[in-house]
């Protein structure tokens, strides 16, 4: 419950000041509405460009895949800076009519006309200082022109006539074509124009244009421009987008053209080098009689290998013949024993001879069985054997000689064939060098020729791989000022400011406000919290309950003196004391109400202490009077004088049996609580209690204002009455 009360107490100032906060919000919204009414609106137009991606799309086709040197699609940040560069913006400015800006001027603000200018203005300024300066222009009577220079001088002329001046000249013509389409546009009016330098236009557009990529991985650029004229905003973003595309095509063509020229020069150079390499190879082959070194070398090696095989065979046969010849010499008398060695000499003739020798030898053996060795038949056989043996030996000798000749001839042939390989590594090295030089020149020539073909295709293809995917439209609604957002923001800020002011005002006033303030700042107990009473029933219930509490605490015993004090008037002391007096009388206690306030004697139904006891400020005299009243009454209630105004009020507080210090939640300062504790301790005042009047009451700002005006009205009436009395 206490937490709920604390929460309610915290928000009470807010609810109290809610009318003020609402009024502040209404004023803030009205100010914003007025500002929006006179503020120059800004319109935004947006264009989007898709950058070429070498990994997909047209630029990835076989025809263009080698053109990546001309594409910067992956360098999105570089393309953003290029779009904002002077080169692109200057090219866009050349295609726009932005040299002169003309405004129609009014009493509060001016409007840029752009294409809705009812006249055509041509200016020739020789003084560069006059560029980007504002000139005044007044057209009247459809023919008279009055120009005010930045220096303040006035130049007069006529429409359609050249107006000479010290800094150059001006020519103003009527825009008949526009006036025919839009006859409602006034011609005679006040204008203002500025002749811009190209550098100023570039810097102005750069400062207002916004170029950004939608995402670092998505090659799409967004170009936005804000301007008071919707059509101008759309023209600028579209022209800059087209200028960017044209610049890309121009640079691509320029790069391709430069590449083609370079490649042509290089092709001519390498064509000569290639021709020289071909001539060197031809001359070297002719000089060294070279057709194909690898094939020739392989053929010669095979030839030498065959010759060496033949040489080995001849050598083997020669050794066999030589061995056979020795056998024949050693065994010429007994051919039959040597017969097995004739296997190495096995031609048909030799075989027949060997057969005949064997036959004759067999025949000789048979004859020797019958005849003696000197027998003619035996001698004839010996003669035949000798002839055949001699023939065979001569044949072997001739064969040996032939084989030896053949052997020697093969050796010479092999030696001649091996001479072919003398100097072969040098020839191969020279041919390798010449072939390498030729191949290198040939490869470079082919590469350059291919690149020239690609570059010529690129030069001939005047297309851009970048695309404008969204052109800037003429905006209908302004983006600034945003009336709805500004109103919400103004209302919110006014709400915060009003809340702050309400709580700050409460802090500055430093009033008691609620019971918690008393509990935190004083040791003196709180007897009662009297709320703001609006109905009689509530009045009776509250004070009847409090009177019963007094009775239970024995504060209403006979001869009790109840003192109701306050620091100042208007804190509820009189109201509360009268209420308690009424309730005490209702329970059968004879009560007297005494007023000790010398400055408040309006109520004649109570006893005024100063009238009964003029010397009541003396404690003994006052005590005697109280003793006299105690004999007649049960309870004495004293409405004490304000403590801050009449120090003598402390005398009554020191004598009273129970002291009630009445404080008001909306009038009494918090510092009074600490002062009450100090007063209680210094004067040793017994039975002192706080009574909080109008506890929890937070009048609204409207209520305070009504009371304030009523107070002023009352003062005014009092002054009038005084004046009337003095007059009478």
Within a domain: residue 158?
Answer: yes
- In the chain, % of residues over pLDDT 70: 84
Task: Say yes or no: 122 and 208 in one domain.
Answer: yes
Task: Say yes or no: 345 and 211 in one domain.
Answer: no
Q: What is the pLDDT of residues 258-280, one digit of tens each?
A: 888 888 888 888 888 888 888 88
C-alpha 114/C-alpha 104 separation (Å) is: 10
- pLDDT over threshold 60, residue 71: no
Q: What is the pLDDT of residues 580-627, one digit of tens each?
A: 888 888 888 888 888 887 666 655 557 887 777 777 777 788 888 888
CB 102 within 8 A of CB 123: no
Q: ∠ at Cα 459 (457, 463), nearest 5°?
A: 90
Task: Say yes or no: 135 and 19 in one domain.
Answer: no
| Residue position matching structure tokens 């080698």 | 66
Within a domain: residue 433?
Answer: no
Q: Which of 683 and 22 is assigned the larger pLDDT? A: 22
CB 43 within 8 A of CB 227: yes
| Residue position matching structure tokens 């001016």 | 110
- pLDDT over threshold 50, residue 70: no
Question: What is the reported pLDDT for 239?
Answer: 92
pLDDT bin (cut points 50, 70, 90) of residue 37 is: confident
Tokens (6 digits) for 531: 């709320």
Mean predicted lDDT score pLDDT of the chain: 79
C-alpha 687/C-alpha 594 separation (Å) is: 20
Three-class DSSP labels, 359-413: HHHHHHHHHHHHCCCCCHHHHHHHHHHHHHHHHHHHHHHHHHHHHHHHHHHHHHH
Cα–Cα distances in angstroms (integers) from residue 642 to residues 369, 667, 691, in the given order: 199, 14, 15
Question: What is the reported pLDDT for 67?
Answer: 45
Task: Say yes or no: 582 and 554 in one domain.
Answer: yes
Task: Say yes or no: 200 and 321 in one domain.
Answer: no
- pLDDT over threshold 60, residue 718: no
Task: Say yes or no: 26 and 130 in one domain.
Answer: no
Q: What is the pLDDT of residues 640-662, one digit of tens each?
A: 888 888 877 888 888 888 999 88
Within a domain: residue 245?
Answer: yes
Most confident of 24-33, 291-300, 384-393: 24-33
Residue 387 has phi, psi (to 5 degrees) of -60, -45
Q: What is the pLDDT of residues 477-498, one digit of tens each?
A: 888 888 888 889 988 998 888 8
Question: What is the reported pLDDT for 63?
Answer: 44
Task: Say yes or no: 35 and 52 in one domain.
Answer: no
Q: Which residues contact 680 (CB under 8 A, 6 or more apart)?
A: 524, 688
Residue 660 has phi, psi (to 5 degrees) of -115, 120
On the question of a cis peptide bond just before residue 167, with omega within 30 degrees of 0, the verdict is no
User: The dihedral of CA 288, 289, 293, 296: what is its sign?
Assistant: negative
| Residue position matching structure tokens 């001739």 | 398
Average pLDDT for residues 667-688, to the nearest whole number?
82
Task: Say yes or no: 52 and 193 in one domain.
Answer: yes
Q: What is the pLDDT of residues 173-214, one digit of tens each?
A: 998 888 888 888 888 889 999 999 989 999 999 988 998 887
Question: What is the reported pLDDT for 238?
Answer: 92
Question: What is the reported pLDDT for 59?
Answer: 46
Within a domain: residue 264?
Answer: no
- Of 479, 485, 487, the residue nearest 42 (C-alpha): 479
Q: What is the pLDDT of residues 317-368, one digit of tens each?
A: 777 777 767 766 665 555 555 554 444 455 666 677 777 877 877 877 887 7
> What dihedral do alpha carbons 588, 594, 595, 598 form, nearest 10°?
170
CB 530 within 8 A of CB 572: yes
Q: Which residues contact 295 (CB under 8 A, 6 or more apart)?
A: none
Residue 82 has phi, psi (to 5 degrees) of -65, -40
CB 597 within 8 A of CB 611: no
Strands 467-470 and 560-565: unpaired
| Residue position matching structure tokens 């006059």 | 130
Task: Say yes or no: 113 and 28 in one domain.
Answer: no
Question: What is the reported pLDDT for 3?
Answer: 57
Q: What is the pLDDT of residues 546-576, one digit of tens each?
A: 888 888 888 888 888 999 988 888 888 888 8
Q: What is the DSSP track for 151-191?
A: TS-EEEEETTSEEEETTEEEEEEE-HHHHHH-TTS-SSSEE
pLDDT bin (cut points 50, 70, 90) of residue 73 is: very low
Task: Say yes or no: 546 and 684 in one domain.
Answer: yes
Strands 591-595 and 607-608: parallel
Pick the last residue of a domain from 227, 252, 277: 252
Determine the distance from the C-alpha atom of residue 521 to the mean position of all C-alpha atoms in its chain, rounded to a whole number. 56
User: How many domains does the structure of the chain reveal?
Assistant: 4
Within a domain: residue 562?
Answer: yes
Domain limits at 388? 295-426
- pLDDT over threshold 60, residue 2: no
Task: Say yes or no: 171 and 56 in one domain.
Answer: yes
Three-class DSSP labels, 63-117: CCCCCHHHCCCCCHHHHHHHHCCHHHHHHHHHCCCCCEEEEEECCCCEEECCCCC
CATH at 558: 3.40.50.300
Burial (Cβ within 10 Å: 0-12, 13-18, ≥19) of residue 719: exposed
Q: ∠ at Cα 537 (535, 541), nearest 5°?
A: 120
Q: Which residues contact 441 (CB under 8 A, 6 or more apart)?
A: 270, 273, 274, 277
Task: Say yes or no: 701 and 552 in one domain.
Answer: yes
Least confident of 436-450, 463-477, 699-713: 699-713
CB 35 within 8 A of CB 485: no
Within a domain: residue 284?
Answer: no
Within a domain: residue 470?
Answer: no
Within a domain: residue 129?
Answer: yes
Pick the last residue of a domain from 252, 285, 306: 252
C-alpha 406/C-alpha 398 separation (Å) is: 12
Q: Which residues contact 120 (CB under 8 A, 6 or more apart)?
A: 172, 173, 174, 175
Q: What is the pLDDT of residues 130-151, one digit of tens each?
A: 888 889 988 888 888 888 888 8
Q: Which of 165 and 507 is assigned the larger pLDDT? A: 165
Question: What is the reported pLDDT for 575?
Answer: 87
C-alpha 77/C-alpha 4 separation (Å) is: 59
Average pLDDT for residues 63-84, to the nearest whole number?
62
Question: What is the reported pLDDT for 568?
Answer: 85
């Amino acid at each position: 419950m206490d937490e709920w009360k604390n929460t309610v107490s915290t928000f009470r100032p807010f609810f109290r000041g809610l009318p003020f906060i609402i009024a502040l919000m209404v004023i803030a919204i009205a100010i914003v509405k007025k500002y929006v009414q006179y503020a120059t609106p800004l319109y935004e137009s947006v264009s989007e460009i898709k950058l070429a991606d070498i990994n997909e799309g047209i630029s990835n086709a076989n025809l263009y895949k080698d053109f990546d040197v001309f594409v910067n699609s992956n360098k999105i940040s570089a393309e953003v800076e290029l779009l904002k560069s002077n080169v692109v913006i200057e090219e866009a400015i050349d295609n726009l009519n932005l040299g002169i800006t003309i405004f129609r001027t009014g009493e509060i603000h001016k409007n840029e006309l752009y294409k809705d200018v009812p006249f055509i203005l041509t200016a020739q300024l020789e003084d560069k200082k006059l560029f980007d300066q504002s000139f005044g222009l007044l057209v009247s009577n459809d023919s008279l022109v009055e120009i005010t220079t930045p220096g303040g001088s006035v130049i007069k002329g006529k429409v359609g006539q050249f107006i000479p001046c010290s800094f150059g000249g001006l020519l103003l013509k009527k825009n008949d074509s526009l006036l025919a389409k839009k006859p409602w546009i006034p011609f005679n009016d006040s204008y203002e124009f500025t002749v811009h330098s190209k550098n100023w236009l570039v810097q102005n557009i750069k400062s207002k244009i916004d170029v950004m990529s939608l995402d670092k991985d998505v090659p799409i650029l967004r170009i936005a421009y804000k301007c008071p004229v919707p059509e101008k905003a759309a023209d600028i973003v579209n022209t800059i987008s087209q200028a960017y595309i044209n610049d890309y095509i121009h640079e691509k063509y320029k790069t391709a053209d430069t590449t083609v020229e370079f490649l042509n020069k290089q092709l001519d150079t390498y064509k000569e080098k290639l021709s020289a390499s071909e001539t060197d190879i031809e001359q070297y082959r002719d000089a060294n009689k070279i057709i194909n070194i690898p094939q020739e070398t392989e053929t010669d090696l095979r030839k030498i290998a065959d010759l060496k095989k033949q040489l080995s065979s001849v050598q083997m046969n020669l050794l066999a013949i030589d061995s056979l010849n020795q056998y024949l010499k050693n065994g010429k008398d007994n051919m039959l024993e040597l017969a097995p060695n004739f296997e190495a000499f096995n031609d048909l003739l030799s075989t027949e001879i060997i057969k005949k020798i064997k036959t004759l030898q067999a025949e000789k053996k048979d004859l020797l069985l019958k005849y003696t060795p000197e027998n003619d038949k035996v001698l004839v056989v010996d003669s035949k054997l000798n002839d055949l043996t001699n023939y065979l030996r001569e044949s072997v000798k001739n064969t040996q000689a032939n084989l030896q000749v053949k052997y020697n001839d093969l050796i010479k042939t092999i030696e001649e064939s091996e001479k072919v390989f003398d100097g072969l590594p040098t020839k191969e090295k020279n041919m390798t060098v010449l072939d390498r030089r030729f191949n290198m020149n040939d490869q470079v020539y082919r590469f350059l020729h291919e690149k020239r073909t690609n570059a010529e295709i690129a030069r001939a293809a005047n297309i851009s791989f970048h695309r404008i995917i969204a052109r800037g439209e003429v905006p209908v609604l302004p983006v600034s000022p945003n009336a709805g957002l500004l109103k919400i923001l103004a209302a919110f800020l006014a709400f915060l400011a009003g809340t702050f002011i309400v709580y700050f005002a409460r802090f500055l006033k430093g009033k008691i406000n609620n019971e918690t303030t008393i509990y935190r700042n004083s040791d003196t107990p709180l007897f009662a919290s009297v709320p703001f009473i609006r109905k009689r029933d509530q009045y009776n219930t509250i004070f009847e309950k409090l009177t019963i509490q007094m009775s239970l605490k024995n504060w209403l015993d006979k001869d009790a003196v109840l003192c109701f004090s306050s620091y100042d008037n208007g804190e509820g002391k009189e109201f509360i004391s009268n209420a308690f007096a009424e309730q005490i009388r209702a329970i059968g206690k004879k009560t007297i109400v005494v007023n000790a306030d010398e400055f408040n004697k309006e109520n004649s139904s109570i006893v005024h202490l100063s009238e009964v006891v003029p010397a009541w400020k003396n404690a003994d005299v006052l005590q005697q009077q109280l003793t006299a009243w105690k004999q007649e009454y049960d309870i004495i209630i004293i409405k004490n004088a304000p403590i801050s105004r009449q120090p003598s009020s402390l005398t009554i507080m020191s004598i009273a049996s129970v002291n009630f210090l009445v404080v008001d939640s909306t009038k009494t300062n918090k510092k009074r609580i600490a002062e009450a504790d100090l007063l209680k301790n210094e004067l040793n005042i017994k039975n002192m209690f706080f009574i909080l009047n109008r506890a929890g009451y937070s009048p609204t700002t409207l209520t305070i204002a009504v009371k304030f005006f009523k107070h002023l009205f009352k003062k005014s009436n009092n002054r009038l009455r005084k004046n009337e009395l003095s007059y009478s």
